[in-house]
């Protein structure tokens, strides 16, 4: 009889893949349920068809990610230095395939199985009811697990304006949610600019400097583009192509819709009217929903996440954040955190009082920092959040620890403080350090390594990572 603990993982998107990998690293048995026939989650482009009118994926055919490869990669599987900085969705899906192949994750994934219900048994283990999505006559099956990692994503259930705009019923143009949009070009960001030393500045100074930078580049924002709130008080829209298109009149910016008119007219809040509108896309975001969880586990239908931690200490929500930065490395470090906590490496679990206090602190911080809106209930800053979890995990790169561990190698220290805050930084130190991390951190900050290992010819310099990992063990 095996004494290994079993972990149910719901979803094989980037969060699920990271969770499986961490479970394997910790000697646990992961079983990942994925309702689709493929892995990669939202980043696997899926056509909207008659047979599949509501696919999980909401990305468009031409989506380009707006977080750079240096900041979105998994910490011990850097994206090749030769790939473009901002990857099209096809390359992202390919990267996830390479990750799964490299760490042999696929055999732990049960494709085309949807989790219907998760309930906790008397002994605190989880009963996971799942069913085939291939065979409509299939009977659900129940399986029992020690831990539950929810990696089902939160960009899938469209949120429509409530109440609907006046005249929605008489408007004869089309109305769709952006979830169903399938062609556009996404933008790019300057996420390398916030390097580690910048994060030492107080928050208000970073905000002022960022706002000033925007004004210097684009000039003061006017009209409907001028936000009614402070810089960083709302989740930012990042697209460097957008301003050029607005300035050249290819995109016309309007205030909010006041009402729809009979036919194809739309009246806006400034009183202007546009006729001949064929299609309206609602870019109104998504609901956070976990239909397979019982009501009392998570607040149903509300977008703030109120867990009864005392009762449910063996469940983790991975990737349930809206970061200014990339989600993938956050999901990875959350998985490392959850497993370390469960395996007792982070000391005794926090008390209910401690957790409630932490929840209150977070809530107050969100209310102080952001405009009140359902989209700002799970907001985090990548840089601060990663460092916070890394601190507890013992892998936060500090000057003193780096100096001691790497014999005051100034090239590495400069790369950590002045290069992109790549997740590979969190594999330099601590129990789960990775031998390739130093090279990745240095290369990502612009230093060229002279081919000590790796297949430089194809640019896949990480293709020998399995060997490095073996050496590590």
Ligand X SMILES: Cc1cc2nc3c(=O)[nH]c(=O)nc-3n(C[C@H](O)[C@H](O)[C@H](O)COP(=O)(O)OP(=O)(O)OC[C@H]3O[C@@H](n4cnc5c(N)ncnc54)[C@H](O)[C@@H]3O)c2cc1C
Enter the tokens of residue 160.
């429509």
| 232 sits near ligand X (criterion: CB under 6 A) | no
Token pair for 377: 């209930």
Between CA 402 and CA 429 the distance in angstroms is: 8
Cα–Cα separations (whole angstroms), residue 146 to 21, 119, 292, 342, 390: 17, 12, 17, 10, 25
Shortest separation between residue 65's beta carbon and ligand X, angstroms: 4
Instruction: Report, in Å, the least distance between residue 326 CB and ligand X.
Output: 4
Q: How far apart are CA 464 and CA 57, in angstroms?
A: 31
Question: Residue 317 or 461: which CB sits closer to ligand X?
Answer: 317
CB of 206 within 8 A of CB of 198?
yes
Among 36, 332, 442, 443, binds ligand X (CB under 6 A): 36
Rounded to the nearest whole angstrom, what is the least distance from the CB of residue 435 to ligand X in the complex? 26
Of 133 and 409, the one with the shorter C-beta distance to ligand X is 133
Return the number of other C-beta atoms located less than 10 Å from residue 174's C-beta. Answer: 11
Output the smallest distance, CB 36 to ligand X, in A: 4
Q: What are phi and psi of 180, to 5 degrees?
A: -100, 5
Name the minimum Å distance from CB 222 to ligand X.
27
Give the total of residues touching ligand X (CB under 6 A): 34
Distance between CA atoms of 300 and 297, rounded to whole angstroms?
A: 9
Question: Binding residue for ligand X (CB under 6 A) from 115, 261, 315, 428?
Answer: 115
Indicate whether 59 belongs to the interface with ligand X (CB under 6 A). Answer: yes
User: How far is it, in rounded angstroms, from Cα 272 to Cα 258?
Assistant: 10
Phi, psi for residue 413 in degrees, rounded to 5: -60, -40
Under the binding rule (CB under 6 A), the answer on residue 420 touching ligand X is no
Cβ atoms of 290 and 152 within 8 Å: the answer is yes
Residue 14 interacts with ligand X (CB under 6 A): yes or no: yes
DSSP 8-state secondary structure symbol assigned to residue 234: S
DSSP 201: S
- Least distance from ligand X to the Cβ atom of residue 64, Å: 8
- Smallest distance, ligand X to C-beta of residue 44, A: 8
Instruction: Pick one of 31, 43, 441, 462: the residue that binds ligand X (CB under 6 A).
Output: 43
Q: How far apart are alpha carbons 193 and 327 in whole angstroms? A: 18
In the set 33, 99, 282, 337, which binds ligand X (CB under 6 A)? Answer: 33
Residue window 130-169: x/- pattern of binding to ligand X, with contact defined by CB under 6 A = ---------------------xxx-x--------------
Contact 98, 464 (CB under 8 A): no
Whole-number minimum distance, CB 54 to ligand X, in Å?
11
Contact 458, 362 (CB under 8 A): no
Residue 8 binds to ligand X (criterion: CB under 6 A): no
At closest approach, how far in Å is the CB of 290 from ligand X? 8
C-alpha 149: how far from chain center: 15
Class of residue 198 by CB neighbours under 10 A (exposed 0-12, middle 13-18, buried 19+)? middle
Smallest gap, in angstroms, from Cβ of residue 155 to ligand X? 4
Closest by CA to 420, choosing from 248, 176, 196, 117, is: 196
- Per CB under 6 A, 13 contacts ligand X: yes
Closer to ligand X at the Cβ: 235 or 259? Answer: 235
Residue 114 found at the interface with ligand X (CB under 6 A): yes
If we measure between CA atoms, which residue out of 74, 71, 39, 45 comes closest to residue 58? 45
State in angstroms the smallest separation of the CB of 377 from ligand X: 15
Q: Token pair for residue 123?
A: 């002994």
Cα of first residue to Cα of last residue in the chain, in angstroms, is: 26
Contact with ligand X (CB under 6 A): which of 7, 8, 10, 341? 10
Neighbours of 84 (CB within 10 A): 12
User: Could you tell me which stretch among 58-66, 243-251, 277-285, 370-378 binds ligand X (CB under 6 A)?
Assistant: 58-66
Token pair in block for residue 100:
């799964």
Question: Looking at the DSSP assignment, which residues form a beta bridge with residue 149?
Answer: 9, 316
Q: Which three-class secondary structure state does DSSP give residue 120?
A: strand
The binder of ligand X chosen from 56, 108, 336, 438 (CB under 6 A)? 56
Quick one: which of 9, 23, 30, 58 contacts ligand X (CB under 6 A)?
58
Site stretch for ligand X (CB under 6 A), options 63-71, 93-101, 242-250, 453-461: 63-71
What's the min distance (Å) between Cβ of 110 and ligand X?
Answer: 9
Span interacting with ligand X, options 54-62, 169-177, 426-434, 459-467, rule CB under 6 A: 54-62
Q: Which stretch binds ligand X (CB under 6 A): 21-29, 32-40, 73-81, 344-352?
A: 32-40
Specify the residue, 318 or 393, whose C-beta has the smaller distance to ligand X: 318
Tell whether residue 285 is a contact of ligand X (CB under 6 A): no
Told to check if 11 binds ligand X by CB under 6 A, we report: yes
Q: Does 292 bind ligand X (CB under 6 A)?
A: yes
**Token duo for residue 219:** 């000039």
Residues that bind ligand X (CB under 6 A): 10-16, 33-36, 41-43, 56, 58-59, 63, 65-67, 72, 114-115, 151-153, 155, 292, 319, 326-328, 331
């Amino acid at each position: 009889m095996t004494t290994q603990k079993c972990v149910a993982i719901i979803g094989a998107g980037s969060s699920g893949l990271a969770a499986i990998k961490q479970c394997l690293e910790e000697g646990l048995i992961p079983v990942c349920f994925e309702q689709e026939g493929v892995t990669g989650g939202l980043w696997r482009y899926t056509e909207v068809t008659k047979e599949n009118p509501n696919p999980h994926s909401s990305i468009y055919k031409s989506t380009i990610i707006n977080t750079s490869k240096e900041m979105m990669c998994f910490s011990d599987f850097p994206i090749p230095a030769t790939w473009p900085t901002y990857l099209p969705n096809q390359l992202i899906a390919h990267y996830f395939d390479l990750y799964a192949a490299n760490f042999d994750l696929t055999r732990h994934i049960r494709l085309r199985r949807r989790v219907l219900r998760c309930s906790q048994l008397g002994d605190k283990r989880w009963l996971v009811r799942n069913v085939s999505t291939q065979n409509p006559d299939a009977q659900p099956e129940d399986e029992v697990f020690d831990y539950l990692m929810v990696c089902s994503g939160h960009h899938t259930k469209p949120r429509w304006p409530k109440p609907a705009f006046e005249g929605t019923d008489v408007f004869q143009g089309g109305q769709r949610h952006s979830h169903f949009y399938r062609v556009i070009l996404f933008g790019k960001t300057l996420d390398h600019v916030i390097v580690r030393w910048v994060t030492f500045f107080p928050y208000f100074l970073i905000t002022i400097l960022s706002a000033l930078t925007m004004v210097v580049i684009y000039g003061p924002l006017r009209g409907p583009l001028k936000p009614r709130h402070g810089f960083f008080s709302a989740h930012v829209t990042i697209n460097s192509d957008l301003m050029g298109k607005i300035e050249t009149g290819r995109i016309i910016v309007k205030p909010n819709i006041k009402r729809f008119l009979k036919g194809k007219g739309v009246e806006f809040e400034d009183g202007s009217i546009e006729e001949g509108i064929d299609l309206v896309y609602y870019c109104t975001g998504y609901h956070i929903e976990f239909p397979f969880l019982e009501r009392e586990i998570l607040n149903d239908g509300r977008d703030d996440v109120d867990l009864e931690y005392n009762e449910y200490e063996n469940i983790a929500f991975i990737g349930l954040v809206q970061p200014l930065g990339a989600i993938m490395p956050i999901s990875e470090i959350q998985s490392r955190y959850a497993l370390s906590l469960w395996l007792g490496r982070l000391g005794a679990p926090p008390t209910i009082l401690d957790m409630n206090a932490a929840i209150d602190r977070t809530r107050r911080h969100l209310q102080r920092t952001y405009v009140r809106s359902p989209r700002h209930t799970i907001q985090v800053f990548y840089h601060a959040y990663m460092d916070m979890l890394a601190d507890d995990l013992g892998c936060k790169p500090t000057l003193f620890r780096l100096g001691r561990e790497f014999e005051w190698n100034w090239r590495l220290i400069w790369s950590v403080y002045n290069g992109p805050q790549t997740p590979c930084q969190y594999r330099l130190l601590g129990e789960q350090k990775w031998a390739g991390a130093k090279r990745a951190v240095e290369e990502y900050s612009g230093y060229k390594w002279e081919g000590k290992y790796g297949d430089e010819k194809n640019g896949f310099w990480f293709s020998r990572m399995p060997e490095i990992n073996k050496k590590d063990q």
